[in-house]
Amino acid sequence: MLDLLDYRRQVSVLYSAIRQLGSNSPDAFQHFQAERDVLFAQHPSSALSNDQKATFKGLHYQTYDERFRIVTEVHPITEGRAYRDNEVESGTFQMRPFGTVHLDLPTGQGDLTLYWIMGYGGGVFLPFRDMTNGVTTYGGGRYLLDTIKGADLGSADGRVVLDFNYAYHPSCAYNPRWVCPLSPPENRLTFPIPVGEQLAMA
């Protein structure tokens, strides 16, 4: 448990640095990539097994594209039905929608739902799927925000920073020993998000 605590602490420190620099800063994006590589390669709570760590050469990302960074208003949801996932390793995972955000991106327009993780302390969670899944990204989708783990790009005045260059794969994309909550149907976009973390190329 202390290893997991330390992992989350380091992720929180990493995202704090990104918010201070601004996610669209080249230094922030390079720092993000470098620090995640270190966590994956060395940390006891890495998503990788020891065998995977032995051959790990770094995660893969598309080149930063500022057009996929938006700061957008959150539209509150007053009565959202809780979503439950009974397959998550730590027990039943529950989250409730609390708001929606509108995306106007070079590849398309759509809406995503923001979720509040139901549990002690709670946290904001934004999983999503898009048309790159199963092609250049993990078939089960990616995450953009998960504040329980410290993955928070910032917000101000009712608006939230959504920088899809920082979209990342859940742990289950790397190793089947992990079971992760995936994106509900309403967060499946009908257009591609071509930036962010990618599958390793052969």
Residue 147's φ and ψ, nearest 5 degrees, are -70, -20
Q: How many structural domains comprise the chain?
A: 1
Burial code (b: 16+ CB inside 10 Å, e: under 16) for 171-202 equals bbbbeeeeebbbbbeebbbeebbbbbbbbeee
Question: Based on the number of CB atoms within 10 Å of its own CB, is 98 exposed (0-12), middle (13-18) or buried (19 or more)?
Answer: middle
In this prediction, residue 202 carries a pLDDT of: 38
- Residue 31 falls inside a structural domain: no
Q: Give mean pLDDT, residues 140-145.
A: 97
pTM (two decimals): 0.92
Contact 126, 98 (CB under 8 A): no
- Residue 96 falls inside a structural domain: yes
Burial code (b: 16+ CB inside 10 Å, e: under 16) for 58-76 equals ebebbebeeebbbebebee
- Residue 112 falls inside a structural domain: yes
The amino acid at residue 88 is: V
Give CA–CA dist 193/124, Å, rounded: 21
In this prediction, residue 86 carries a pLDDT of: 47
- Residue 180 falls inside a structural domain: yes
In this prediction, residue 198 carries a pLDDT of: 97
- Residue 133 falls inside a structural domain: yes
For the stretch 47-83, pLDDT in tens is: 999 999 999 999 999 999 999 999 999 999 987 666 6
- Residue 75 falls inside a structural domain: yes
- Residue 10 falls inside a structural domain: no
Domain boundaries, position 86: 60-198
- Residue 170 falls inside a structural domain: yes
